[in-house]
Amino acid sequence: MSRKLKTLIGILAFIILMGGAYIGYNILSAQYSPGRGQISEGNNARPSGNSTADGTGSAARSQGQGAEQSGASDEDGVKAPDFSVVDGEGNTVKLTDFEGKPLVVNFWASWCPPCKEEMPHFDKAYKDYGEQVNFMMVDLTDGQRETVEKGQSYVEGQGFEFPVYFDTRQEAAYTYMIRSIPTTLFIDSDGYLVDLAQGSMDEKTLRGYIESIK
């Protein structure tokens, strides 16, 4: 398991022990000012040490790191904290709505070149895996640098078919402490965080991660 994944699991465990992701959101919201550039663009993806990118799977679930005390995890791992976003029609959608199938969550923005570089791979993966795996392409909209309109215009202009959601309240970004994009989470069908990748992925790497959660 990579240091990044261990760190994220530790953060999520702490948030859970402090009363859930909602409290984490409130604490961080006082420190984060949208539009000031705290969220930066990443470069190439940095997979886990026991990378799922080769399709063998890693073991985020093997590191409970104390979260089992909260009742939000089983003995094998940490439940991915929930968050709410909106779809293109303004309907509220929660991460937990997708439990029952593996889930890929990608955080991106239309101003981010590395995000746009990997978008065609996600669109192709969605077309190939969409019956088996759910996808949440979460546009981090702050109302200034990134807006719903900008995100929709980019996706429609490129002809992408994957489902897009908008983090209009920055709740998802706060919950997962996103400071660099693209960042992608890989969650199993029971809602447990399996792995994450920061930076742009090539098609082979993305498919390796997806195969690990199928």
Domain boundaries, the chain: 3-213
pLDDT value of residue 71:
36
In this predicted structure, the answer to whether residue 69 has a pLDDT above a threshold of 70 is: no
Q: What is the rounded average pLDDT for all residues in the chain? A: 79
Pairing of strands 92-94, 183-187: unpaired
- Per-residue pLDDT, averaged over 145-153, amounts to 98
Write down the architecture of domain 3-213 according to CATH: 3-Layer(aba) Sandwich (3.40)
pLDDT value of residue 14:
46
Helices then strands, each counted (H, E), the chain? 6, 9
Give Rg (Cα) of the chain.
16
Global pTM reads 0.73
Alpha-carbon torsion, ordered 76, 195, 174, 111, to 10 deg: -170
Percent of residues, the chain, with pLDDT higher than 70 = 64
In this predicted structure, the answer to whether residue 35 has a pLDDT above a threshold of 80 is: no
Per the listing, tokens 């429609």 go with 156
Q: What confidence tier does 77 reach under pLDDT thresholds 50, 70, 90? A: confident
